[in-house]
Amino acid sequence: MPSVLAILLVVGAGPPSVLAILLLGVAGAVMWGREHPPQDRVTERRDAPVRLLQWADGLLPADRVDWGQAMLGELDRIEGRSKRWRFALGCVTGVVLLPPWGPVGPMAALVAVALGSAVVFGFGFVHFGLATDPWNWVMLAILAALVIGSIVAVSVQLRRARVARLALVGGLFVAAAWLVVSGFTWQGIISPIYSVGAWSDPALYIAVPVALGVSGAWHSGSASVGRRAARLAGVSAGLVMFFISTIAVVAIDGGPRDPGASVAGGVSEAFSNVAMTYLLSLPLAAAAIGWVAATATARIRSLNLAQLNPDPMSTTKAAGRAPDAREGRTTGRTLRRVAVVVAVIMAVTLFFLAR
Amino acid sequence: MTRSRSPSPQATRVLRALAADPARWRYGYDLATGVHLKSGSLYPILIRLADRELLETSWEQGPPGRPARHLYRLTPTGREYVAALDVARVERSVPRRRWGLSGA
């Protein structure tokens, strides 16, 4: 029970950084929705199964892109909502599990990190007698799903070599930023959000994913590369930090706990906290921040190219998008929205830090 | 280099469905419903068969604004492969039947 309560506390009513992440995610979703209006439904279907499959097709390696188009072409001819959903979900599973699963070296390293986490967690589970509480088994199941999900997410993202190096190096920087904010102490690693002190700390959380999104989008000329780099960096950093945090939990018996709380309860709660923080919040935060940065960078780059070269075809090509007459207006709107999102986040963070 | 291990039961079902009318181009969804496979199983099988050059693919252009449709049929190599599978199955089943009779 304490595990579930801790999960709800961290995810729901939690500290400022989590709130800022949620706000950022919502703002990002709104921006994405406005930038991708539904197309003509008479000529081309754009329902949820199509969007899901389009997203999944983006995970295919470059030499399998045709197969993604094949799945979309087939989905287009299927009638009936449940049949369409079944077909799309089946295809997504196929796309995710289809080899290749990314370069051997980085994948082996991340799997080793995940296995290391499992060993330390297993030791803690037995050593502190967590098996007696049924809720701890629920926590174990959620945690296993998060770790396996992270590994699968990394493997599909690593298929695109263009992103892999930037994202993996970026992941180390993201992990380093969280370690710096934790103050390199076991307690700080278990509760990094509560370790936030100076203004430089939240800035560090934000700056690294921003740098990743910007550099990916700027060098490639495509916002999707920056977004993908930030996403992959977040997940890989999350796995690394989760490994370190499980050691921290075992090393200090879960850290300080409420008066009267048992050691097992404290350890269980600490395990839940670190799982939610590093396997969920960290990747989400990095992905959301990187998303905004990459989108804004691609727009700014497109605007710069438009000023240098008035030929609309070359500009839109460099920005990685189809020619669009509304490009200039959309760019202005996007930049304004990004500014609003940043301002809201700063205001929320200020409010909570001032309390 | 492609591996030449024997195909899975699901892949065998797909191969046999395609071999039933080898000249005909088949759609992915029709094939999936015909052999009772989910799309998540069918497409990886089709990809592997195409990689092994047992399957040829083609695109059928749809009406304007609609995505093209992918079509599949066996290559000559694929037909030979299915024929070899049938022969191997017969050879495996004959000794078993004999053994069953002598043991009875």
Q: C-alpha distances in angstroms, A294 versus A20, A256, A325?
A: 18, 40, 22
Inter-chain CB proximity B40 and A86 less than 8 Å: no
- CA distance from start to end of chain B: 46
- If we measure between CA atoms, which residue out of A59, A69, A70 comes closest to residue A95? A59
pLDDT in tens, A322-332: 444 444 555 56
Inter-chain CB proximity A94 and B41 less than 8 Å: yes
Query: Pick from B38, B64, B70: which is nearest to A74 by CB?
Result: B70
Local confidence band at A314 (pLDDT 50, 70, 90 cut-offs):
very low
pLDDT in tens, B74-94: 999 999 999 988 787 777 766
Is position A208 within any domain? yes
CA angle A78, A82, A86 (to 5 degrees): 75
Is position B14 within any domain? yes
Look at residue B81 in the predicted model and tell me its pLDDT: 92
Q: Which B residues, 44 through 103, put their C-beta within 8 Å of a C-beta on chain A?
A: 44, 46-47, 57, 62, 64-70
b/e code A63-85 from CB counts within 10 Å (16+ = b)? ebeebbbbbbbbbbebeeeeebe
Look at residue A24 in the predicted model and tell me its pLDDT: 64
Is position A121 within any domain? yes
Q: C-alpha distances in angstroms, A1 versus A265, A288, A320?
A: 9, 30, 49
Is position A84 within any domain? no
Local confidence band at A23 (pLDDT 50, 70, 90 cut-offs):
low
A216 touches A232 (CB < 8 A):
no
Q: From CA B103, how far away is CA A283, in angstroms rounded? A: 64
Q: C-alpha distances in angstroms, A324 versus A46, A224, A317, B37, B67?
A: 19, 18, 11, 41, 21
Pairing type for strands B55-60 and B26-27 reads unpaired
Is position B47 within any domain? yes
Chain A residues near residue B41 by CB distance under 8 angstroms: 90, 94
Local confidence band at A4 (pLDDT 50, 70, 90 cut-offs):
very low
CA angle A102, A107, A110 (to 5 degrees): 145
Look at residue A316 in the predicted model and tell me its pLDDT: 44
Is position B60 within any domain? yes
Q: From CA A125, how far away is CA A275, in angstroms rounded? A: 14
Other C-beta atoms within 10 Å of B9: how many?
A: 7
Three-state DSSP class for residue B36: coil
Is position A312 within any domain? yes
Residues β-bridged to residue B74? B55
pLDDT surpassing 50 at residue A8: no
Query: Strands across the sheet with B55-60, in order?
Result: B26-27, B69-74, B55-60
All residues at 6 or more sequence positions from A50 whose CB lies less than 8 Å from its CB, including other chains: A72, A75, A76, A88
Using only the alpha carbons of chain B, give its radius of gyration.
Answer: 17
Look at residue A200 in the predicted model and tell me its pLDDT: 62
Is position A302 within any domain? yes
> Into how many domains does chain A fold?
1
Chain B residues near residue A44 by CB distance under 8 angstroms: 65-67
Is position A326 within any domain? yes
Is position A296 within any domain? yes
State the pTM of this model.
0.65
Q: Cis link prior to A37 (omega < 30° from 0)?
A: no
pLDDT surpassing 60 at residue B103: no
Domain that holds residue B63: 9-103
Local confidence band at A18 (pLDDT 50, 70, 90 cut-offs):
low
Query: Pick from B41, B66, B69: which is nearest to A43 by CB?
Result: B66
Question: Higher confidence at residue A109 or residue A200?
Answer: A109
Share of chain A above pLDDT 90, in %: 15
pLDDT in tens, A67-88: 999 999 999 999 888 999 999 9
CA angle A8, A9, A11 (to 5 degrees): 65
Chain A residues near residue B66 by CB distance under 8 angstroms: 43-44, 76
Chain A residues near residue B39 by CB distance under 8 angstroms: 71, 74, 86-88, 90-91, 94
A275 touches A231 (CB < 8 A):
no
Look at residue B104 in the predicted model and tell me its pLDDT: 37
Look at residue A325 in the predicted model and tell me its pLDDT: 46
DSSP for residue B72: E
pLDDT in tens, A97-132: 887 766 778 888 888 999 999 999 999 999 988 888
Domain that holds residue A155: 2-35+103-354
pLDDT surpassing 70 at residue A33: no
**ipTM, interface predicted TM-score of the complex:** 0.82
Inter-chain CB proximity A78 and B29 less than 8 Å: yes
Three-state DSSP class for residue A98: coil
Crossing angle of the two packed helices A282-308 and A161-182, in degrees rounded to 10: 120
B25 interfacial to chain A (CB closer than 8 Å): no
pLDDT surpassing 60 at residue A310: no
Local confidence band at A53 (pLDDT 50, 70, 90 cut-offs):
very high
> Into how many domains does chain B fold?
1
- In single-letter form, the type of residue at position B10 comes to Q
What sections of A158-222 are H helices per DSSP?
Answer: 161-182, 186-190, 200-220
* Residue B95, domain CATH: 1.10.10.10
Question: Higher confidence at residue B18 or residue A318?
Answer: B18
pLDDT in tens, B14-65: 999 999 999 999 999 999 999 999 999 999 999 999 999 999 999 998 888 8
Three-state DSSP class for residue B53: coil
Average pLDDT, chain A: 77
Is position B1 within any domain? no
- In single-letter form, the type of residue at position A107 comes to M
Is position A86 within any domain? no
Question: How many residue pairs bridge chain A and chain B with CB atoms within 8 Å of each other?
Answer: 75
The minimum CA-CA distance between B79 and chain A, rounded to whole Å, is: 22
DSSP for residue A100: P
pLDDT in tens, A235-246: 999 999 999 999
